[in-house]
Chains A and B, each alone.
Chain A
Amino acid sequence: MTQLTQQILSGVATGAIYASLALALVMIHQATESVNFAQGEMAMFSTYIAWSLVQVGTPFWIAFVLTVVISFIGGVLIERIIVRPVENAPVLSHVIVFIGLLVIFSAVAGWIFTYTVKQFPSPFPTKPLLGGAVTGHDLGVIGVTFVMLILLFLFFRFTPLGLAMRAAAQNPESARLVGIRVGWMLAIGWGLAAAVGAVAGIMVAPILFLDPHMMSGVLLYAFAAALLGGISSPGGAVLGGLIVGVLENLVGTYLIASELKLTMALALIIIVLVVKPSGLFGAHAVKRV
């Protein structure tokens, strides 16, 4: 029983990380109808920035805030410089550009920081809590993620900028007519997604250790989370992330060998896409012929 609670709680913690990355994917998908395949690699790179800041002696939380800000600016710049020119190009071009980004981030990280695996400090106490059911880091991750989710919710619900971004994503033409600068809203969306990804990266790095390939598996789970919850629904993505996190732990402990975890995520993705492409909470995509 203890083992079960333990697995569920640590599943919720990793699930919170998948939820963050899935949320980043959903934010970009909402605005541009495409999936940013480089999201994981961008998060990985942000984590390296945080790592370097901590290495030179910056206190953890200051490094955290700085990294989130730098990632936001980086995300905005990527949208403006690299994604903008192919905005109206066919899907294949989007995919190729995103894969190009993925490869470049991975290579530059390897080039600057080498491929040696690095330890990443956790800001939370590592000692087990609640009679060994959960580690301090897990609880911290859950806390940070939920604070971030609430902030995002308040931002999109109550601030003029957040509302303008939603308008730009839902109906670009009308948004433009009421004076919203749609292009910049997309860029800010990219910035926010990069910042959310950075938080996910920093939270997962103490568990997975830092190396340039750290996020490829996490991205796969985030895909599964986003699709399970419905890629058009931010709340769904978060719930999907938690489900996938818990499922990963339970299935990996009780049902199949842990070598098949990624295959399980792949199977989940295929099943969702084939059986219920809109996910649990997503809107049905209606296509005009």
Chain B
Amino acid sequence: MAATSGLATIPVAASGTNWRRIGVAVAIAAALVLPWLVSDYRVFQFTLAGSYAVALLGLNLLTGYNGQISLGHGAFFAIGGYTAAILMHRLGVPYYLTILPAGAAAFIVGVLFGLPALRLENLYLALVTLSMAVATPQFLKYFDHWTGGSQGIVLRKPAAPTWLPIGNDKWLYYQMLVVLLIVFWAGSNLLAGRTGRALVALRDHPISATVMGINPVFYKTCAFGVSAMFTGIAGAMAAIATGFVAPDSFNVFLSISFLVGSVVGGIATVAGAVFGGFFIQFIPNLANDISDAAPWAIYGLFLLAFMYAMPTGIAGFIRTMAVRYAPKFRTAVGEQPTSQPGSHS
């Protein structure tokens, strides 16, 4: 997965597909073995990283592939998290049944938000979504009857069945891995086919795309809905994994860290979402030892550095290297358009 699914959304030729399959197989194998090599706390962190990866896939789909800038995906993450938490806490729904409703709730809000977004140019959409991110914590606190106010909601962490010889963290990790694989499978299929091409066409040449018969209203609204749905699913995953939701964890900086993860991983890629998820989970942990503010300073510097030096992110960088050094790649993916993130209007 990491190796080939660069910026391109056009299905690659046979040899490229093989490389991609090998990459995906290696990544999945590594993900399966991983919990047995690290401590339980790390397993928990990897679970969270997985949820971020799913959220970033949603953001990449919307901002990277479709060119609709969102600086407010933390709000959809919050909707997913709170839907799951309220279902579990107030209505006693088992945790594994809350993920789909969380996705559905975020999908509906996403579509509703996508309708006015149709009329906004990129810059104003960025402004509106940033404002949405700023307003989210206050909004959540207001409905304290449902959301528990600023105290948030504490959830019971799901326990592994007694007949399984693994700890709770590993059990949760594997379940979330299954969710992640399903979402990524769906997402990459969606983006590799007709829909993905339509989204990219609308990003790069909206007028030509419309002339070719691509319905902009349908595709852009759907992109918003599906993007929100993925991020909402991710929010539910994170809420289940941490066992806690509170308004102030869904502040504007959550949305900004999604943007950071997206840019660092590679904003118009599928694989980039995974790199980005790892980045925003582990870099702050490393940097926190220096100072409370250090993670954010590093985020800011990374944003600027990637924008100037590596605008296609880690995934794009790997692809460029692969094209340069692996001869098979050149024939497979060499001719693909290497658009920069946001090379659209």
Contacts and interface: CB of A to CB of B under 8 A. Distances in A.
A107 B142 contact: no
Nearest to A112: B293
Given A260-B142, A266-B135, A270-B116, A97 B304 contact: yes
11 contacts: A37-B130, A90-B343, A97-B307, A102-B256, A104-B304, A220-B131, A220-B135, A227-B124, A227-B127, A262-B135, A263-B135
Dominant SS at the B interface? Answer: helix
Interface residues of A, number: 50
Interface string B115-148: 0100110111011101110110011011000000
A263 B138 contact: yes
Contacts of B253: 103
A100 B303 contact: yes
Contacts of A101: 300, 304
Contacts of B301: 100, 104
Dominant SS at the A interface? Answer: helix
Interface string A96-115: 11011111101111110001
Given A34-B123, A106-B296, A261 B252 contact: no
A34 B341 CA distance: 18
A260 B138 contact: yes
Contact of B116 (A91, A217, A274): A274
Contacts, number: 151
Given A82-B304, A103-B303, A91 B142 contact: no
Nearest to B257: A103
A32 to B, nearest CB: 11
Given A37-B71, A103-B296, 4 more contacts: A35-B126, A104-B296, A109-B293, A260-B142
B69 A95 contact: yes
Contact of A92 (B122, B128, B138, B295): B122
Nearest to B306: A96
A244 B134 CA distance: 17
A99 B126 CA distance: 10
B221 interface: no
Contacts of A220: 131, 134-135
Nearest to A114: B292
A96 B123 contact: no
B71 to A, nearest CB: 7
B311 interface: yes
Nearest to A85: B308
Given A111-B291, A289-B207, A216 B252 contact: yes
B67 interface: yes
Interface in A204-224: 216-217, 219-220, 223-224
A152 interface: no
A66 B129 CA distance: 35
Contacts of A107: 293-297, 299-300
